[in-house]
């Protein structure tokens, strides 16, 4: 039995476009770490946009050197391109998920050097229409699209969390399914009528089921879903939707504005981080008091109009003049009007007219 377990738990090593995680219940196992499912999505949402700007900068620095290597074909050109590639790895491998994996440093940090030293493979790369050239070009294009894909994922998660989940009165897998169905219907209509394409949430993964030893209890073994991914974006989408099915979802703290993972069975709008301006008290401890105080004073005209609209819509829903779905949609639109006004995108007159139309 011990020999079988040793074969099962080989320490994996990974590249950025080929890595494996394990799912079991409401946990995701990444390298030596495990998290409540959905936590990695929260960590990506809270990653500073400047991190992705820096990755883009390093990619833009690398791409000309990668193409120059094909033209010059010298050891010095390899060294320059490899150095610039390694700067990309340093930034990418510090991101959530990657930072917990046992990355294959020889494969990643010596990729171009190993390729250049292999005469057969390097010869294939030199052929413009060969499979080797396609792989080389695909590597470059993968770098160029990496941050674009992660930004798209972040934007989608934020949209779902704030527009479709924030109005929910309950926080459960069933409630999230209702919110997601509205998002899906809206995106399907948008894609068909405006983009003239099908809305799809499909992506390829490789799935198998394996016995796994508990990380802290050596006597406990369970069946885990071993899932292999070819991109960080695919993993994040998988974790996000698996999290919703388990009743976990990202939520933006109403006090400090950062995202936190709202786990199944809880419905709070405040995180447990130290609140801004505090040294010990968390947002959860001080947020409700501050929010109530803000409601009673210093309300802007837009916030006052939003309160009136919200109360009017709530009365209509209670009197069954509008359905719960219509209520959720209207409140989400009212929140959007409020946010647009506070960003200066709507005048007071436009704001009032749009609130009155709801």
What secondary structure does DSSP assign to 79-140, as a single string?
HHHHHHHHHHHHHHTTSTTGGGS-B-HHHHHTHHHHHHH-HHHHHHHHSTTSHHHHHHHHHH
3-state secondary structure of 215: coil
Beta strand 33-36 with 259-262: parallel, antiparallel or unpaired? unpaired
pLDDT at 94: 97
User: φ, ψ for residue 345 (rounded to 5)?
Assistant: -90, -15
| Each residue's pLDDT expressed in tens, for the chain with a length of 358 residues | 444 444 344 456 688 899 999 999 999 999 989 999 999 999 999 999 999 999 999 999 999 999 999 999 899 999 999 999 999 999 999 999 999 998 998 899 999 999 999 999 999 998 888 999 999 999 999 999 999 999 999 999 999 999 999 999 889 999 999 999 999 888 878 766 665 556 677 777 888 888 887 766 667 888 889 999 999 999 999 999 999 999 999 999 988 899 999 987 678 889 989 988 888 888 888 776 666 555 555 677 888 888 888 888 888 888 888 887 788 888 888 888 888 888 788 887 888 888 888 8
pLDDT at 1: 40
pLDDT at 23: 94
Beta strands in the chain, from DSSP E residues, in sequence order: 19-24, 27-30, 33-36, 206-213, 221-229, 249-252, 259-262
pLDDT at 5: 41
The residues, ordered by sequence, that sit 6+ positions from 13 with a Cβ below 8 Å of its Cβ are 102, 103, 104, 107
């Amino acid at each position: 039995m011990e020999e079988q377990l040793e074969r099962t738990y080989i320490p994996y090593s990974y590249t950025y476009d080929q890595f494996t995680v394990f799912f079991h219940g409401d946990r995701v196992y990444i390298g030596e770490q495990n998290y409540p499912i959905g936590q990695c999505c929260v960590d990506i949402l809270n990653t500073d946009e400047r991190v992705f700007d820096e990755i883009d900068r390093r990619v833009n620095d690398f791409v000309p050197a990668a193409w120059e290597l094909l033209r010059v074909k010298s050891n010095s050109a390899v060294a320059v391109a490899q150095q610039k590639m390694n700067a990309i790895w340093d930034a990418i491998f510090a991101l959530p998920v990657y930072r917990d994996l046992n990355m294959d440093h020889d494969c990643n940090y010596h990729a171009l050097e190993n390729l250049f030293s292999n005469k057969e493979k390097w010869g294939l790369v030199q052929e413009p229409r060969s499979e080797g050239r396609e792989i080389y070009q695909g590597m470059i294009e993968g770098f160029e699209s990496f941050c674009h894909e992660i930004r798209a994922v972040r934007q989608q998660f934020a949209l779902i969390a704030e527009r479709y989940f924030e109005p929910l009165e309950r926080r459960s897998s069933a409630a999230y399914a209702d919110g997601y169905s509205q998002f899906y219907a809206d995106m399907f209509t948008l894609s068909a009528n405006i983009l003239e394409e099908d809305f799809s949430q499909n992506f390829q993964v490789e799935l198998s089921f394996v016995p796994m030893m508990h990380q802290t209890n050596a006597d406990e073994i369970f069946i885990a879903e071993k899932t292999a991914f070819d991109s960080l974006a695919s993993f994040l989408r998988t974790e996000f939707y698996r999290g919703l099915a388990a009743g976990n979802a990202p939520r933006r703290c109403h006090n400090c504005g950062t995202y936190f993972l709202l786990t199944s069975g809880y419905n709070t709008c405040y995180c447990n981080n130290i609140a801004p301006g505090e040294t010990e008290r968390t947002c959860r401890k001080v947020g409700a008091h501050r929010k109530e105080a803000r409601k009673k004073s210093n309300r802007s005209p837009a916030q006052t109009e939003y309160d009136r609209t919200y109360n009017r819509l709530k009365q209509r829903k209670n009197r069954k003049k509008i359905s719960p779905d219509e209520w959720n949609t209207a409140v989400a639109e009212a929140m959007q009007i409020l946010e647009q006004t506070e960003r200066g995108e709507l005048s007071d007159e436009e704001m009032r007219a749009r609130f009155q139309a709801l």
